[in-house]
Amino acid sequence: MTASAAATRPDPDYLPFHPAPSTPAYRPPAGAVDAHCHVFGPSDRFPFAPERKYTPVDAPAVTLFALRDLFGLSRNVIVQATCHGTDNTAMLDAIAQAGDRARGVAVIAPDISGEELQRLHDGGVRGVRFNFLKRLVGNAPLDRYVRIAERIGALGWHIVVYFESAELAELAPFVRALPGTVVIDHMGRPDVAAGVDGDGFARVLDLMDSDERFWIKATCPERLTVAGPPYDDVVPFGRRLVEGFPDRVIWGTDWPHPNMVSHMPDDGHLVDMIPRFAPTAELQQKLLVDNPMRLYWPEGVA
């Protein structure tokens, strides 16, 4: 094995995505969007960032789009993950393959050129992600985030923020000061063991209540659960968000589920959780179609 091949081998404890997800019983409404998913590599075409904290298995666009079709979904929003750093090439390539059926959320450097920003926009990017998880980025570069937020304003992009709810007491002033639309990843990563009345989730709800600029993703029951499948303990959190903020909540699979530790979910089962979060057809339409289309395809589709 060459040194370059060894350098891109997945971490020995990295869990690969489910090899054969089940066909869900739930069928989404026409036009449904998976508003949070990723592509990784293939690493021989799109190398991982040298500074990455983990090395995943390849998770190419062709596999993602096959899942989209299996689950009866219509579109994807592909979020740049830290393993590719600020090189958004794999994401842009996936969007190009999908045509108008995909959009992207990028990770960028504050000194990015105006030409490169426009190239990302023309390639389908509609947002930028700020990661605050210490295990992935160390101490979040707040000054860099401020400069990036200033750069993207003219493009009308939104900001996606990824944090642990326990850290929100410290982060809330910074997050509130961000301009424009701000989308909270993965329900704000609450401590599910503390219940929906726990302090961390209460801070997330307070943020959502404070300003209609804030949106949230009802995603990742497999990542948040304490009890494990079928993730009954996460249902009250998802339902509270969907019913409390029906016009500002979106859903996604998080495929291929990077850095899962305890188990790898069956994505078909995750799709079947949608009606548990959104129990009525009206709420499902907003969660899966109306809201993500308003955020990522405001110009409509052909």
Catalytically annotated residues: 254
232 vs 269: CA distance, rounded Å = 12
- Tokens representing 236 are 């009250």
* Cβ atoms within 10 Å of 179's Cβ, excluding its own: 13
The answer to whether residues 129 and 160 touch, using CB atoms and an 8 Å cutoff, is: yes
The answer to whether residues 29 and 280 touch, using CB atoms and an 8 Å cutoff, is: no
Task: State the DSSP string of 58-98.
Answer: -B-HHHHHHHHHHTT--EEEEEP-GGGTT--HHHHHHHHHH
Helices and strands, number each (H, E), in the chain:
14, 8
Is the CA virtual torsion 284, 289, 292, 294 positive or negative? negative
